[in-house]
Amino acid sequence: MKTTFLIIGLLIGGLLGFGLTKYFNSNNSKELKVISSKNTVANWNWADSLESVKNAPSSHKIVYEDSKVRVLQVILQPKTVEPIHTHQFKSIMWFTKATPMTYYQYNLSKSGKYEITDSIKIGLMPAEVLNHGEIVEPEKPHAVKNTGSETGIAYRIEFKKDF
């Protein structure tokens, strides 16, 4: 039941993100009230080399980018684990084609190596929750394994400035 609510939230957030992106890119002179986030670039402490497009380029493709926002297409082939990576910015993410997956969280050990600290298995998402988004906070080192037999596809709108 929790997974269903998560997926529904992800999908609703995606729609919100689309609207916000349209707002930011309009020639409208209105000001958007900025809400400060505790997770800003200033206090990010993970290596730039772990950034999603740099360290997991086979699964993270830039669809659009400007000084305020970056839109990623995330594609994960069947039975594949993407490389460990991070997402530095608050974002909105949604799935257009979901598959069963396992989400791995990593942390830097005392020996300087990244080690799995937790994993979450996510079953197949119901069709009614696809194409809706949810706000996602910046993510520390993680990786996702597509445990299904089909390609998974998601989109992520990363906001480079607080919102």
- Burial class, 84, CB count within 10 angstroms (exposed 0-12 / middle 13-18 / buried 19+): middle
CATH number for 131: 2.60.120.10
pLDDT digits (tens, 9 = 90+) for 13-60: 444 444 444 444 443 333 333 333 444 455 788 999 999 999 999 999
| For residue 136, pLDDT beyond 60 | yes
107-120 mean pLDDT: 94
| For residue 103, pLDDT beyond 70 | yes
Least confident of 3-7, 103-107, 146-150: 3-7
* Domain presence at residue 38: no
The helix (H) or strand (E) run that includes residue 6 is helix 2-25
For the chain, how many structural domains are there in total?
1
pLDDT digits (tens, 9 = 90+) for 73-90: 999 999 999 999 999 999
* Domain presence at residue 73: yes
d(CA 161, CA 52): 18
* Domain presence at residue 153: yes
